[in-house]
Structures are given as structure tokens and as C-alpha cells.
Amino acid sequence: MIFILLIFVSVVFVIYIMLIDPSVGIRGTKAVITIPSGSSWQQVSDSIFVNLDIKNNKLLELAARIKKYPDLIKPGRYEFSKDLSYLHLINILRAGKQTPVKVTFNNIRTINDLSGKVGRQIEADSIEIVNFLLNQDNYKSDGFTRETIISVFIPDTYEFYWNTSAEGLYRRMLKEYNRFWNSERVNKAKSLGLSKIEVSILASIIDDEVVKADEKPRIAGVYLNRLRKGMPLQACPTIKFALNDFSITRVLDKHLKVESAYNTYKYKGFPPGPIGCPTIEGIDAVLNAERHDYLYFAAKADFSGYHNFSKTLSEHNSYAAEYQRELNRRKIYK
């Protein structure tokens, strides 16, 4: 009887040593296991076998059963950079110790653009994100509309857990938005007589209008001067947005006739919302706008990306005509 017990104890000890031995191998410099929401143990084990070097599938199964992991599966993206034991592997997965993913988005014009770019980086796909953002009931209590919700998404790189939902994405970005709009920025907006949304709208226009970053505060000053005088903004990027045609390189008279609340040639004041995700650079350009008397600007005919600024319409028309002639010379007609 004692002999049998000794054999049993020895077997258990050997199995335990095998379970804690770092024998689960990493192929290359790192391995990634992605577990979608609702995954079964079979699906998880299949992913483990594909991405890790498992020498004994029965030991993996045993470790999972000991830890009751099949009933405690947590979705996510798990990254491994060194060999580990079967028990250590299961412990990490069971505890949901995910490796955050870095989500980057920029140059975003529409909700569809945003959803497509972010949806490729987290579990929530583009359709789920679009449907959430198009439903105003999801965020109207936070003070946003379908037209203004895009202002919450300030382009940058953020860390998310891979299994973030569409609502989780919004909640996290709202937290980042509120952190970004600190008391200094809020007070600067108030001193200009603008709301945060209005700053974001102007910033989104300037981001699309201006190639050279050092000109953004000056052009912000132009738009603010127009608003103070009750002039229409007359911002070409809003016309492209209204037409949903961002391939336009030359805004023509026919384009200016589009019936849209975003047509800032036809309607004074702010359009209903930003025409893209406003950048930090654009927002700060508005908040720190140059003080001057310019009311107009026209792209320079040397195609340097810079502009000529004018205080009078006649001077502006002269610069604009010069630029139009260069467009014609280069055969840029649309």
C-alpha cells in the first residue's frame, strides 16, 4: 500500500514539474493569441496550438482543467515574448492579462473613415462602430449630436484592450476628450467667445485647408475675423464635405451651389459639425489664433503651400486671379 502511494505521489510530482516547466515555446521574438468574445475552449486551444509551440497537448488540457479555465475564458489579445509553463500560460489567459494594442488614427473625414480605421485594430468591427456613432441616443446626454460626435475623436495614438466594444471605444475617447479640454484650453475658447465644438469645427476646416502648420494660427485669425464681422466663412473644404467628394482640387462656381448646411458660402456662421476629426495642432491653432486685420487668403501661385493674405477684397481678387491662372497653366480644371 505504501509502495503504491509512493508511486502515485511520484507520478503527481512528475506531472507537476512538467506543468510548471517553461516548455511552452515562442516562435520568433513574440507570439500573439487572440481570443474573440464568446470563444469556446476548443477555439482557444486551437489558437494556442497555431501560435505557440505546444509539445504535449494533454498537459495543456490538464492545466486548463485544473484551473477551471474552460468556464472562465476571457476575450482579448495576449502577447508572449518568452517561453512559459502550461500553468503560467493558463493563469495569464484565465486572469485576462491582455497586452494593450496601440490604436492610431489620423486624416479622418467621416464616421465611416473613423470606423473603418479603428475597426481594423480592435475587436469591434467597422459596422458595430458606425451603428453606435450614428445612433444619437448613445451620446446626446453628453452634449453631442450625430454631426458633432466626431469631435470627440482627436487623432493620436491610444492604448486599448483588443476586445473593446464600440461603446467602450466611445467612453474611452470621451475620457480622453475631457482630459484634453483642460481648464487652460476651455478658458482660451471662452475668451474667443467659442464653445469647444465651435473650436473643433474651425480646427477641422483649417486642418483641411492648410498644408503648412505655421500658417494655421494666421488662417484661424482670418476665420475669426470673418465671424466677428458677420461674414460667411467661405471655406472650400466645407464644400468638398457637402458634396462628399474629397478628390476636388479646384472648387468651382457650380460646386458653390450645393444645397447643404455645410455650404459656408451660402450660409453664415458655423456648419453643423466638424468636417473631420480635428487635430491637436488645428485646435491649438484656433485657441492661439493670430490677431490681425486680414479677411482673405489665397494660395500662392508658386504652389509652395503658403498663402497670400489680404485686408481688402480687391487685393484678394488679384491674388486669387494669379492662382487661377497658374491652375489653368497646369491644366488643373477640377
Whether residues 285 and 220 fall in one domain: yes
Whether residues 70 and 176 fall in one domain: no
- The pLDDT of residue 10: 41
Whether residues 38 and 118 fall in one domain: no
C-alpha cell at 110: 467621416
User: What is the average pLDDT across 47-64?
Assistant: 85
Q: Point out the domain boundary residue: 180, 202, 218.
A: 180
Q: Is residue 10 part of a domain?
A: no
pLDDT digits (tens, 9 = 90+) for 90-113: 889 999 999 999 999 999 999 999
pTM, full prediction: 0.87
> Which comes out higher in pLDDT, residue 26 or 243?
243
pLDDT digits (tens, 9 = 90+) for 160-191: 999 999 999 999 999 999 999 999 999 999 99
Residue 85 maps to which CATH number?
A: 3.30.1490.480
Whether residues 90 and 107 fall in one domain: no
- The pLDDT of residue 23: 64
Whether residues 163 and 267 fall in one domain: no
Whether residues 301 and 245 fall in one domain: yes
User: What is the average pLDDT across 65-92?
Assistant: 89
Mean residue pLDDT across the chain: 89
Residue-number span of the structural domain to which 227 is assigned: 193-329
Q: 10 Å Cβ neighbour count for 49?
A: 12
pLDDT digits (tens, 9 = 90+) for 272-286: 999 999 999 999 999
Q: Is residue 141 part of a domain?
A: yes
Whether residues 300 and 224 fall in one domain: yes
Q: Is residue 161 part of a domain?
A: yes
> Which comes out higher in pLDDT, residue 82 or 10?
82
Radius of gyration, alpha carbons of the chain: 29
User: Are 279 and 203 within 8 A, CB to CB?
Assistant: yes
Question: Any alpha helices (H) in the chain, and if so which ranges?
Answer: 2-20, 41-51, 57-66, 86-95, 111-119, 126-134, 166-180, 183-191, 196-209, 216-228, 236-243, 280-287, 313-329
Whether residues 247 and 156 fall in one domain: no
How many domains does the structure of the chain reveal? 3
